[in-house]
Every structure is written in structure tokens, then in C-alpha cells.
Amino acid sequence: MKYFGVLLLVAAGVARGELRIDESGRSLRISEDGKLLVEYRTDWKVPYLYPLVSPSGANVTRHWPIKDDVPEEERDHPHHRSLWLAHGAVNGYDFWAFHDGKDAKIEHVRFVDSDVDETGAARFSVDLVWTGGGRTHLTERRTHTFRRTGAETFTLQVDSELTAVEGDVLFGDSKEGMFALRLDRTLRLKGPQAKAHILNSAGAADGAAWGKRADWVAYHGPDELGEPVVVAAFDHPSNFRNPTWWHARDYGLLAANPFGIHDFENKPDKTLGDHTLPKGERLTFRYLVAIHHGDLDSADLPAIWKNFSKP
């Protein structure tokens, strides 16, 4: 039924300004008026979203390593792929940077549903499995909801439901995680094209925002077209250990991470952030990314937070 609904949408077309979903094999694209806004991809060890396009028409995340011909892009951290969700210490497996040499991966199993609902939001869900060492450590239902919330603002909500299936699952204390974006060249604080700044919900700016707990963190500056943009990530109040810690780096990495306590707070006990999810139990997360064509004042991030944080 889901597939038929998508076919109807493709065959009939959509009115100007409405979102459209095209599902093909193991990938999915959301577009507006024929212009690609976001694509779900499975050609890496973990699923990721690239590009992520502003209402100005600019991609706000790093192009590399998906594209290799963009001038003055840093070619570091090849696991930093636009927008993704993973963690570097799950039952001793590195699902983030894969430095342990093991066979960890987050595998796409199926699309569960995809449609443009009556509110105009494009929504799709996927089933995933976190595997390593011949075991399934976690199953995951991940739902993405993409909306235009105003003439100059897009939002992307990601809901993740993780279930321990074959035994208890230990999320280890590591700064390498969890819900993350790697931002484009101009949305950095250092580098040849860096022109951005950072602000969090508590008022900490730039380098002072790293490792701090906050409801949201925003990068603001010009996009790749020279247009003003704000890219903000929000941690829902229902999330584990909210407000979360933020791995907000001057080179453009923005990650919400409830597990990396000893790194972020510079504590000697490397198990402070550990959390064990018992077999059969679930851990859920909800995050929002807002992309606004404009400045911090017109973005009105406190209002976005107030709306997002409702039960």
C-alpha cells in the first residue's frame, strides 16, 4: 500500500511548493518543485542523509567524501557523512569511526512507509540493524519527518527507537557519537572559507559551546551561495539525559551525545557515561534540525524549541 501511494504521487505529480517522495531501491529522495532537498543513502557502513538543502538552494553539510570535486573542503574524518546517527562504543564495537578494525555496521533492512501527509510533511521510516561479530546488537526503527515550516525554514525531525535484541547492550562513554551533522566549508569557525559562529540555548558561543549541556546548538553564517543561514539541532526533553552534551567543534562537527560524559566534563572515570540497555528493552531519541535562510533573530530558535519540546 505504501509503495502504491508513492507511485501515485510520482505519476500524478504535485502542485508547486509541495514536497514529493521518490523511493528507489535502498535510497529515497525528497524534493520540492523538482529540486532535491534531502536524500537518504545506504552506500556506507551506516545510513546517512546527503544533501541537506537550505531554502536558499545551498547544501549546508559537507560534500566530501560523497563528492570529491568541491574546492577547499577538508578531507578528514571520512566517516563524517553529512547527517547521520551512530555511536563509537556499543558492546565494544565502533559504529562511528570504525577504528577498532571490527565489522560493525548499521544495515538498512527495509522502508516501512513513506508518504506526504495531510499537513504537507514528507515522512519515511526505515528498519535498521546494528551488527558486529556475527550478532545483532540492536534493531532500530528510524523515522524522518521533513517539513517546510515557513517561507524561509525547513525542519527535519529524526525519531530513533533502539531495541536490545540478543542480550544486554552497553553504550560506552565516548565523545564519538551520536546524532550528528558535518557542516559545509563556510559554516565552520576555522578553515580557508570559515565565516560562521556557534551559539547554544544557554548563551555559550563559539568554542565555549563545546562539551556543554544545552537544549539546542546553532551554527550561523553564510552558506555556500553567500546567503545567510542558521543550522540548529535540538534535543527533545524526553530524550535520555536531556539536556544532552554537544560535541560542537570549530571545524563544523555538531553532535548530540548523551554518553560522552567523561570527555565533555574532563573527568578521570571513563565509565561515567556508560549506559546498559537490558535485553528486550527500548531506548528512544528525538532530534530536530532546523535550516533557516536568514539570521538568528529571524530564525527565532526559542520559538522552534518551544514548539518542538511539547509532549
| pLDDT of 17 | 78
Provide DSSP, 197-243: EEEETTS-BGGGGTT-B-SEEEEEEE-TTS-EEEEEEEE-TTSTTSS
Residues of the chain with pLDDT under 70: 1-16
Taking the CA atoms of the chain, what radius of gyration do you get in angstroms?
A: 19
| pLDDT of 15 | 35
| pLDDT of 27 | 98
Containing 2, the helix (H) or strand (E) segment is helix 2-12
The DSSP output letter for 101 is: -
Residue pLDDT, tens place only, 259-303: 999 999 999 999 999 999 999 999 999 999 999 999 999 999 999
CA–CA separation, 83 and 248 (whole Å): 14
| pLDDT of 10 | 35
Question: What does the buried/exposed string (b/e) look like for 187-215 if buried means 16 or more CB atoms within 10 Å of the residue's CB?
Answer: bbbebeebebebbbbeebeeeebbbbbbb
Class of domain 2-308: mainly beta
Residue pLDDT, tens place only, 201-235: 999 999 999 999 999 999 999 999 999 999 999 99
Containing 5, the helix (H) or strand (E) segment is helix 2-12
- N- to C-terminal Cα distance for the chain? 30
Confirm if 188 and 88 have CB atoms less than 8 A apart: no
| pLDDT of 219 | 98
Half-sphere exposure of 194 (CA within 13 A, CB side): 14
Containing 301, the helix (H) or strand (E) segment is helix 301-308
pTM of the model: 0.94
